[in-house]
Amino acid sequence: SAQGLILTRPRWARVGCAQNPSWDPLYVGTEPMSAADIDRVSPVYFDMPSAEMEREIITTHCRDAGYEIPVRILDQLMQAADAIRAMVADGTLPIAWGLRAQIKVAKKTRHYSLEKAYRRALIDGMEPEVVDSIMGIVRSVA
C-alpha cells in the first residue's frame, strides 16, 4: 500500500497466470516454476471451446475491430484449423494453433486473401517446412 492506503481485495478476485510446460519444445526459453511457486498456485485447465463458441469469439473480435467476417471465410478458417490442429496433435507440426492464431488470421482477411492473411498473420516467421504444410492446408480449403 502506498502511504498507508490499504486496498481491499474483492471476495472473488484472484491472481491469474499462464504456464506453458518448459520441457515442451514449443515453449523454448520458458523457465520451470519453482517448488515454492507451485505450492502457492492451484492449476486450472481450459480446453478449446466448441467450434460454435470459437466461431462466435472470432466473429466478435472481428466485429470489435470494425470488420464483419464473411461466413465463407470463417468456414475456411475453421476447416484449416481442424487440419492444422490434427497435425499439431500427431506431432507433425511443432507449433501451437489456438484461438489467438485464429483471431489474428481472421482479422487479416479484412485486407488480404486467405493465403496472404495466414502468411502476414503468423506463418512468414515459421520454419519453411511448417510454412509449406500450413499453406498446403490453406490452399485446400480456399
- Could you report the per-residue pLDDT of 33-51, keeping only the tens digit for each? 888 888 888 877 788 999 9
Which cell numbers hold the place of 106? 481472421
Rounded-to-integer distance, Cα 92 and Cα 89, Å: 8
Q: How confident is the model at residue 2 (pLDDT cuts 50, 70, 90)?
A: low
What is this structure's pTM?
0.77
Is pLDDT of 27 > 80? no
Judge contact between 131 and 123, C-beta under 8 A.
yes
pLDDT at residue 1 above 50? no
